[in-house]
Amino acid sequence: LANRAFHPEDSIIDVSGVKVGGDNLALIAGPCSVESLNQVMKIAKAAKTSGANLLRGGAFKPRTSPYSFQGLGLDGLDILYEAKQETGLPIVSELMSTEYLDVFNEKVDLIQIGARNMQNFDLLRQLGQIDRPILLKRGLNATYEEWIMSAEYILSSGNKNVILCERGIRTFETYTRNTLDLQSIPVLKKKTHLPVIVDPSHAGGKWWLVDPMAKAAIAAGADGLMIEVHNDPENALCDGVQSLKPGKYNELLQQIKQIAAVVGKT
């Protein structure tokens, strides 16, 4: 169902009024984790002023260590919801288990499935039973075919609103958090009709790699970017080292818009 051969035109996914795919540019920004209402509100307002059109924030976090901050849970979703009321930005947040599917379906505009759950087939099948758009991140070591098959689980269960997100893969290199596979953009867009966006924050794992990789991704045809932005990265509860401050994010977006115009996206 994802195959471009049977669906030549680009799929355009409507995320609560924000169109993703085709000539549209999706600009998702926000903190790795929701920490407080004040934090999310500050970041959301700044990101919106810079031109972001979707707000991200993790309420349930898939942390490597069980002793790390696990997120605010349902309270985090309520904070995002308040920021949405204030700024009008639809919200993107990660769902880790089917347990919270109903509340996410009600409160979250774009449900993120993280790299670690890309092959949680039971979760994928259940996402197929709702209409909410799904942001399916590439697994840590997933091939293109495996990633597409995970999208097929959602599509074949009835939900046609799937957006793919390249976020870097595991390689032998340890200097960067992951290796950003820019080739996945043209390959996935050739093989499928689904929108493909890029998350340079989790790919590089360093804030100063975000700017060049974001630009490269848009030049390579990505339908958008998901970037971690934090007002106080030094004290962030998660992923501060890869987060941009609002000022840097603003500078980057102005340049991104110029590159996007060259490749025909607005």
Number of residues that bind ligand PEP (CB under 6 A): 9
Please, what's the b/e burial string for 220-253 (b: 16 or more CB within 10 A of its CB; e: otherwise)?
bbbbbbbbbbbbebeebbbbbebbbbbebbbebb
Q: Which residue is nearest to Mn ion (CB)?
A: 32
In the complex with ligand PEP, the residue whose CB is nearer, 48 or 177, is 177
Residue 223 within binding range of Mn ion, rule CB under 5 A: no
Other C-beta atoms lying within 10 Å of the C-beta of residue 14: 12
Angle at 118 between CA 206 and CA 44, to 5 degrees: 50
Q: How many residues bind Mn ion (CB under 5 A)?
A: 2
Q: Does 62 bind ligand PEP (CB under 6 A)?
A: yes
Nearer to Mn ion among residue 137 and residue 265 (C-beta) = 137
The answer to whether residue 32 forms part of the interface with ligand PEP (CB under 6 A) is yes
Give the shortest CB-29-to-ligand PEP separation in angstroms.
12
Site string for ligand PEP, 85-124 (x = CB under 6 A): -----------------------------xxx--------
Residue 137 binds which entry of Mn ion, ligand PEP, none, CB below 5-8 Å type-dependent: ligand PEP
